[in-house]
Structure 1
């Protein structure tokens, strides 16, 4: 291979790597942004399939281990009450870091509930989220989602900081 051909091969390899990273980011964003519409419409199977079979959803109000437990949460009386009252799980853009076949994403979510008298909406809670993901044969899936309410305590702040570099870029 000539030096010129070698340079072209290196450029192509870099472009392929960058394209793969962009595709990974896009697939991860689609996965994360499926959660809100799916959970707000009560699609328990769609929500649970975002996780690996033994995936964990660890929220400050309780922990769900496995797809079945996540589906049960969506079908629960409490969650169905939110849906029938009127709710929205709204996510901020996530800061995604891909490392081969694993990734992390950090973002905020808000749970917005319709007022019982129908006069408007209120933000019920703002939460810090850390999503740990893995590439599977079916695409990216959540291994663990850890969510903590942003109430001034270290837990929520720590989740947000975990997705950021220690020094400014």
Structure 2
């Protein structure tokens, strides 16, 4: 039995969904190397111009504010001392030109004596949009997993 037009259409849809998930994972996993190397423009380019980065320590509104965070004295001291922002594989749900990715990150810092320690583990919700064929972060919300329910709620919302 030869494939039908419906079979072909389903295959196209599956390939498009896989391509979207791969592109989203590539986008998000760019964050760690970009932020740890101090490439402020590269970090900012992951977000839409009016994108939001909402983390426990504050909210950055717009890609310019995100770029400024990377250039800040505080962030520069992290990378100057040695650190790594590590991501796990993400749970990604695509819905047309929007998507939500959920997962954990770790901030690992150098102790100054050749050893490292996990400084924090964070629950993340990445809300993404496809603009002109490319995926961008519209909002990233991160909450440290220190027992507070809002971090668990972020994770639960992404898998329900």
TM-score range, shorter chain: over 0.9
Shift of 1:133: 0.1
Tell me the distance in 2 between the aligned counterparts of 1:138 and 1:60.
31
* 1:47 matched to 2:43: yes
What residue number does 1:18 align with?
14
* Structure 1 residues 10-159: aligned runs within 5 Å: 10-116=6-112, 118-137=113-132, 139-159=134-154
Tell me the secondary structure at the aligned position of residue 159 of structure 2: coil
Tell me the distance in 2 between the aligned counterparts of 1:34 and 1:119.
26
Tell me the secondary structure at the aligned position of residue 38 of structure 2: coil
Tell me the secondary structure at the aligned position of residue 151 of structure 1: coil
Tell me the distance in 2 between the aligned counterparts of 1:30 and 1:10.
30
Q: Deviations over 1:69-124 (max 9, x none)?
A: 000000011100010100000011110000000000001000000003x2300100
Q: Flag structure 1 segments of 5+ consecutive residues without an equivalent.
A: none
Q: Flag structure 2 segments of 5+ consecutive residues without an equivalent.
A: none
What is the aligned-residue RMSD (CA, Å)? 1.2
Equivalenced residues, count: 160
Higher alpha-carbon Rg: 1
- Scaled by the length of structure 1, the TM-score of the pair is 0.92
- Scaled by the length of structure 2, the TM-score of the pair is 0.97
Which runs of at least 4 in structure 1 moved beyond 3 Å after TM superposition?
none
Shift of 1:46: 0.3
